[in-house]
Amino acid sequence: MAFCSKCGYQLKGNEKFCPKCGQAVQGIAKETTSKTTPTSSSSASKVQKERVVKPESSLMSSQPNQSQGMPTDVTQTRTSTERPHPSQEQRPWLKKTWPILLGIFVIFLGVNYWYKNRPLDVMPYAIAKFHGMSGHGEAIGDVDYELLREKYNQQFKPNPNRYEENFDYAIREFELKFDKDQDLKNGDTVKLIIEIPKESQKRLKGGEKTFKVEGLEEPKVLKTDLIQKHLIVNFVGISGKGSVKVDSTLPGEFQYLTFNFDNDGQLKNGDKVVARLSPESEQSLLNQGYVLEEGFAPTFEVKGLDQVANQASEIANLEDIKRMINEEVKRRYEDQFYPYEVTLEHYMYNPFPTDEQGNLIQNGAGHFIGIFRVKQLSRDDESKLQEESTSIIGFTNLITDENKQVNVALMEPTFAQKDDSYSSESILQLFEGLNYQIVD
């Protein structure tokens, strides 16, 4: 009979390891009695070289087991080359590492759950398209919905019978906008911003994506020199109220262009005016691939406008004009069938007379008038007043030369009459309201 040297378990004799504790059985001595025969000298010598080990468990149980016929003296030999059972090497390591392995497994489950249920980032699928000319380009935002749909269905596996889980429901209120989407040029950078509706934010994630503007067509340039060469600008009217008249010899593709001029209708000799493209013409140029050169400003000098005096006192031959008015009064009221008494009340002057709508009277610049109170007397008794009225007699179109002399040959006579329902004060107020000045 053989026993384990570590735990004292009874062995059957053919085990290599103890079934109870895993101790190597190799080298354990067979049970011997105290009446064993002496060994030979060679055997004794071999036994001396072996380490005799007496199991503690067998010693402790030797007394009670004698009645059961167990040996009282068991020896076991063990060589220095013996190794422990593999289970003895692995078991302590497993005891220390199983909590770590369990934690790793739990973390793996959590990460896997998060990965499958995380919001799907839309921005990798965002697209920016640029159209137009550099400097006037336009940005349009879009999303590759087909790829996004495929990824959405792979990740969330939505129930087709539940519309609120489906892709079309999640994207129904997408909002795409750029921080700048107009007047772009090649090389600019723009941000596309995608906002996701609140009810879709559990499954979709918006954000910002930066794009570099490229692919815009480089424009052709319309230069100031071309316009100034082919635009024929004339000025008509009176200095201070001058207007622009335009003719053009521009090439065919530019013949449709129309221009606006600052202060048109209020121009005076010596002014500088800039020809500015109308908004419609500028848009047409853009459609044809043209832009205006930087600082585009075709400029023209106002000249050739007729000159009138701003004030009557500036007219060098004003006395001649007064005399001509008085002669017109005499012609009308002297040597008539009825006798008249004519009294001058005021001379008045307006360099730019207008009608009741405020429009400049054609050929009416430089209007000088005399306001006369006219009394028609009785033919039989001149002391009796028969009728009273007010006559406004004067000349218009008082064009002056460089010496401030009015060319009287160009003057045109004017006449108006108000009945006795108009007082002298009301007539004076009427003309002052029309910007006439009293001339002493």
pLDDT of residue 113: 61
Q: Which two tokens stand for residue 66?
A: 């004698």
Check residue 97 and give its pLDDT: 78
- Encoding tokens for residue 107? 């973390």
Q: b/e map of 205-218 (b: 16 or more CB within 10 Å)?
A: ebeebebebeebee
pLDDT, residue 143, reads 94
Burial class (CB in 10 A: 0-12, 13-18, 19+), 311: exposed
Q: Return d(Cα 438, Cα 349) in angstroms, integer.
A: 7
Return the amino acid letter for 369: I
What is the full DSSP assignment across 180-211?
Answer: --SSB-TT-EEEEEEE--GGGTTTEE-EEEEE
Give the separation between CA 250 and CA 226, rounded to whole angstroms. 8
Give the whole-angstrom CA distance, residue 59 versus residue 8. 9
pLDDT along the chain (440 residues), means of 10: 79 79 65 40 42 41 41 43 51 68 73 69 94 90 94 89 88 90 94 91 91 93 94 92 93 91 93 95 90 93 94 95 95 86 95 78 84 90 88 95 94 93 93 91
CA nearest neighbour of 149 among 125, 129, 132: 125
User: Which pLDDT does position 299 carry in this prediction?
Assistant: 95
**Which pLDDT value is given to residue 48?**
42
Looking at residue 66, its pLDDT comes to 41
- Cα separation, 348 vs 440, in Å, equals 9
Which tokens hold the place of 225? Answer: 């020199």
> In degrees, to the nearest 5, what angle opens at C-alpha 266 toward C-alphas 261 and 269?
90
